[in-house]
Amino acid sequence: MHYSRARITPALVAVLLLLSAPIAAQTNLERVVNGPYTPTHDFDLIHQRIEVGGFDWDSTAFDGVVGTTVVSLREGLAGVTLDMDRRLEVR
- Whether the Cβ atoms of residue 70 and residue 46 lie closer than 8 Å to each other: yes
What is the Cα–Cα distance from 53 to 48, expressed in whole angstroms?
Answer: 17
Alpha helix (H) residue ranges in 1-91: 5-24, 29-34
Helices (H) and strands (E) in the chain, counts: 2, 2
What is the Cα–Cα distance from 9 to 17, expressed in whole angstroms?
Answer: 12
Q: Give the predicted TM-score (pTM) of the model.
A: 0.46
Ordered by start, the domain boundaries in the chain are: 5-72
Give the DSSP per-residue string, 7-22: HHHHHHHHHHHHHHHH
Angstrom distances, CA of residue 8 to CA of 5, 11, 12, 16, 86: 5, 5, 6, 12, 64
Query: What string of pLDDT tens digits covers the 91 residues of the chain?
Result: 555 555 667 777 777 777 766 665 666 666 666 667 666 778 888 999 999 999 999 988 889 999 999 998 888 888 888 888 887 777 7
